[in-house]
Amino acid sequence: MQARDIRRHAEPARGILRRGVADGPGEHLRLLPPAALEPYVHHFWWVRWRLAAPVVAEGLPHPSVHVVFEEHDGACRAEIAGPHTGRFVKQLSGTGCAFGIKFRAGGFAPLLGRPMTQLTNRVVPLADVFGAPSDAWARATFAEPELDGRMALATAFLAPLLPPLPAEVVRVRDLVERMAADRTLVRVDDVSLATGIDLRTLQRSFRRFVGLSPKQVLQRFRLLEAVEQLKAEAPPSLAELALSLGYADQPHFARDFKRIIGRTPKSFATRTP
């Protein structure tokens, strides 16, 4: 059986704010990791493009770390992107390819070995975390033309470095994923009450293992939900949406949305991608 025949596809991406229309061939895949990496890694991703004119992509990132190997018009770089508090904007041009590893919230903490806040809003070279051995990994990755081969290289490099996750990291990881799925958790007090974890402990654990505060994580998931609902064919009214997301009123929702997304909910809902 071919490797591509047993690929397990991840769920569609959420939080795409703008995806430019490419005028050339391209490919975008999101694949689940092997069992050895599942406690730490959410999925692998792969993008290839060949463009006659630049295209701008814009998105609202999840509270995650990405390891990225990118080739662009012959130049290569291997980097680690920490959790970001804002949106990202990326211009694609010419010919390129990017292979990425998206870690689950908290899943990168054992590899970093220090508070995740040291990676917040930062992009650092691969060797800053993994040292000189990562140079060989990067060279092999850039020399490998196929996605399956790159995933195998990533698994071979990372699996021996990943210890069993400490119970506190597992608790934070699972709590972040619950916050993403449970729409009744709209305030930090809700999270504290539902879990029995006091606010100070929540804040300390999130900053250490996620790199963002519980409030920032909750707000990110609320805005990700808002983006998806506003992109629907029949979006709810802004007042209804604000209420469903736990905002006291529409102005507070609109203010948060504009600060992070860069435009008002109304302009986002009516804008053609």
Architecture in CATH for domain 167-270: Orthogonal Bundle (1.10)
Q: Any idea what DSSP says for residue 198?
A: -
| Average pLDDT, consecutive stretches of 10 residues, N- to C-terminus, the chain (273 residues) | 66 84 73 97 94 88 97 93 93 91 97 97 97 97 96 98 94 96 91 94 97 96 95 92 92 95 91 55
CA angle 228, 233, 236 (to 5 degrees): 65
Burial profile 136-151: b = 16 or more Cβ within 10 angstroms, e = fewer: ebbebbbebeebbebb
pLDDT value at residue 2:
45
pLDDT at 1: 37
What is the sign, positive or negative, of the torsion defined by CA atoms of 72, 74, 75, 78? positive
pLDDT at 20: 63
Neighbouring CB atoms inside 10 A of 122's CB total 15
Residue ranges, comma separated, of all CATH 1.10.10.60 domains in the chain are: 167-270
